[in-house]
Amino acid sequence: MADWQNHWPTNILTDQQTNMIALLASEGESLFIRQEFGYVVMLSIAAGVAILVRYIRIPYTVTLVLVGLLMSILQLPLEITISSELILALLVPPLIFEAATHLKWDDLRADLFPILLFALLGTLLSTFLVGGATSWALGLPLVAALAFGALISATDPVAVIAFFRSLGVDKRLSVLVEGESLFNDGIAVVIFSLAVGAGIAIAEGTYEGFSLSQAVVEIVVVSFGGLMIGAVLGGVVSYVILKNLDDALIETAVTVALAFAAYLTAEDFGLLFNLGDIHFSGILSVLAAALFVGNIGRINTSPTTRVTLDNFWEFLAFVMNSFIFLIIGLRIQIDRLTANIIPILVAVVAVLVSRLIVVYGLSWLHARVQPRMSIPRNYRHVIFWGGLRGAIGLALVLTFTGEIFSPAVAEDLQAMTFGVVLFTLLVQGLSMSSVIERLGLSKHEPIREEQQKRQVRVYAKRAGRQELDNLHDAGILSPAIWKAMAAVYDARIAQRTALLQDYLAEFPELEQEMVLQARTDLLRAERTAVADATRRGLITEEVQEELFREIDNRSSALDMIKANRGH
């Protein structure tokens, strides 16, 4: 019997009540063990799939979905609770946090306008296009169709980032796709909540009509509030803890707490501060917090802590990714898909057509507003076909249990969502690699991979040589040992540099890419130096703005050169 029962005041309980308590405790313990066993099995399967994909040309995430489908068909006796709260509150925050820490603010800022254009206006357009089409074609209630349009319009960052990292693409293309998928999640969740709220009001007879202006205001407030909460928490952790504390384990633990705290604080803001039913976007809060940690916090930490952080978050992202894509496969029921094949086909066509209109239409609009920063045509093709759906849509549709909309409508919406998710992951996901390669955008080409290997070997040797000098200057290494080891390092650096130069001479186009990237990095360093001079009081803000404009003009010229190379 559990220890807490030994101290229970049994004198006020009957024997029957005492036995019932013991039975419930035993059943709860047994359920916990079964669930724990289920997650252990899932993690073991994920590890096996990771080994398998080394020998087959199928993306890891797609393989996990297929394995999950097989487990669902075989109906393996696993006690796994799959709910929207599990996905949104437990699995998604660390994945978004890990992905956003790798986004450089300068890269994001350079393409912030098209990213926000796709995330905000694109999600709104897609919601109404998909919702209107499915309502007209399938006879769904308009509010239910708009709720489906919202949940399915968000390109899932979990799926998108996993695919793009495995394929390797140009940095700007990666920032555009990942940035859109990270931002539009929060927007989609807000629109979804508005549609569901309207559905509840209609059911209760209190619906007063739809107000576009009110909806836009709520989207802005919820999104901006989430970003502000994440920025505050991320700023505190970055400037106060990561900057002043040199303990890899504690700093790693703090970042884990930050990822979940940012989500929960935003989502339950009113509850936490006794302000009623006030909530903001948890996903955007996690995004803002991660941007602070990735662009400020990591810079303020020691090299040892950075390595620890990177290794831990890479492992955690692997585990969470594995669970999410296995859960997607487990949750999709093939018999329900075949019984709802017509609604699913309508939904797939509506999603593809709306995505086509959004990507190419808004890209055209962006090119008119910022002609020098226009998105290359082959980038647009990848952005269109890379609009994968996954965990977010699945989590939102699981909230439909027949209470908000009728059980028949709820079943249709779930089947349509499962069908669209499965189509994007299997059809679009499996063909993504060939699309990127045919468009000449893959960086996993043998020539580029060899150049990257040689370049990083030089970089690593130089980093080791610099650390050797630091140890000598600190008095840790004696002059004799330092001199001997330095000679070895210098010889290896010279050898690696010669091998890199020979390779660049053989493939001069690679050297041109390196020059453009180096010039971009130097301009970022110049901008940082100007900002630092302003903080130190060496120049006025007016001078800073003038110098910023000069640097930004040179940066725009480089972006035009890169864009022309991408056409």
Instruction: Assign 3-class secondary structure to 366-389.
Output: HHHHCHHHCCCHHHHHHHHHCCCC
Average pLDDT over residues 403-422: 89
Average pLDDT over residues 248-270: 93
**Is pLDDT at 524 greater than 80 in this prediction?**
no
Average pLDDT over residues 200-209: 73
**Is pLDDT at 336 greater than 70 in this prediction?**
yes
What pLDDT, on the 0 to 100 scale, is given for residue 137? 94
Residues whose CB is less than 8 angstroms from the CB of residue 316 and which lie 6 or more positions away in sequence, other chains included: 94, 98, 256
What pLDDT, on the 0 to 100 scale, is given for residue 444? 56
**Is pLDDT at 330 greater than 70 in this prediction?**
yes
Question: DSSP characters for 463-513?
Answer: HHHHHHHHHHHTTSS-HHHHHHHHHHHHHHHHHHHHHHHHHHHH-HHHHHH
- Of 540 and 365, the structure prediction assigns the larger pLDDT to 365
**pLDDT mean across residues, the chain:** 83
What pLDDT, on the 0 to 100 scale, is given for residue 446? 66
Residues whose CB is less than 8 angstroms from the CB of residue 153 and which lie 6 or more positions away in sequence, other chains included: 122, 123, 126, 127, 130, 184, 188, 191, 351, 354
- Of the candidates 336, 354, 350, the one whose C-alpha atom is nearest the C-alpha of residue 419 is 336
What the block records as the tokens of 555 is 């940066």
CB 169 within 8 A of CB 442: yes
> Identity (one letter) of the amino acid at 256?
V
What pLDDT, on the 0 to 100 scale, is given for residue 505? 78
Banded model confidence at residue 10, pLDDT cuts 50, 70, 90: very low
CATH 1.20.1530.20 fits 84-438, yes or no: yes
Distance CA 540, CA 434 (A): 52
Angle between helices 171-204 and 541-566 in degrees, nearest 10: 100
Average pLDDT over residues 3-32: 55
What pLDDT, on the 0 to 100 scale, is given for residue 555? 74
Where are the chain's structural domains?
A: 3-74, 84-438, 446-566
Banded model confidence at residue 5, pLDDT cuts 50, 70, 90: very low
Alpha helices, DSSP H, located in 332-445: 334-339, 341-369, 377-385, 391-397, 407-423, 429-438
Average pLDDT over residues 281-303: 89
Rounded percentage of the chain residues whose pLDDT exceeds 90: 23
Distance CA 29, CA 21 (A): 12
Banded model confidence at residue 7, pLDDT cuts 50, 70, 90: very low
What pLDDT, on the 0 to 100 scale, is given for residue 546? 84
What pLDDT, on the 0 to 100 scale, is given for residue 253? 94
- Reduce the secondary structure of 39-84 to three states and give it as a string: HHHHHHHHHHHHHHCCCCCCCHHHHHHHHHHHHHHHCCCCCCCCCH
Q: What is the pTM of this model?
A: 0.76
Average pLDDT over residues 282-299: 91
Distance CA 173, CA 404 (A): 39
> Identity (one letter) of the amino acid at 197?
G
Q: How deeply is 344 buried, as exposed, middle or buried, from its count of CB atoms within 10 A (0-12, 13-18, 19+)?
A: buried
What pLDDT, on the 0 to 100 scale, is given for residue 2? 45
**Is pLDDT at 3 greater than 80 in this prediction?**
no
- Of the candidates 185, 194, 200, the one whose C-alpha atom is nearest the C-alpha of residue 394 is 185
Average pLDDT over residues 145-166: 78
> Identity (one letter) of the amino acid at 183?
F
**Is pLDDT at 375 greater than 60 in this prediction?**
yes
Which of 257-261, 318-322, 485-489 holds the top average pLDDT? 257-261
- Of 527 and 48, the structure prediction assigns the larger pLDDT to 48
Other beta carbons within 10 angstroms of residue 267's beta carbon come to 21
- Of 445 and 493, the structure prediction assigns the larger pLDDT to 493
Which of 69-83, 108-122, 398-412, 439-453 holds the top average pLDDT? 108-122
**Is pLDDT at 4 greater than 70 in this prediction?**
no
What pLDDT, on the 0 to 100 scale, is given for residue 225? 92
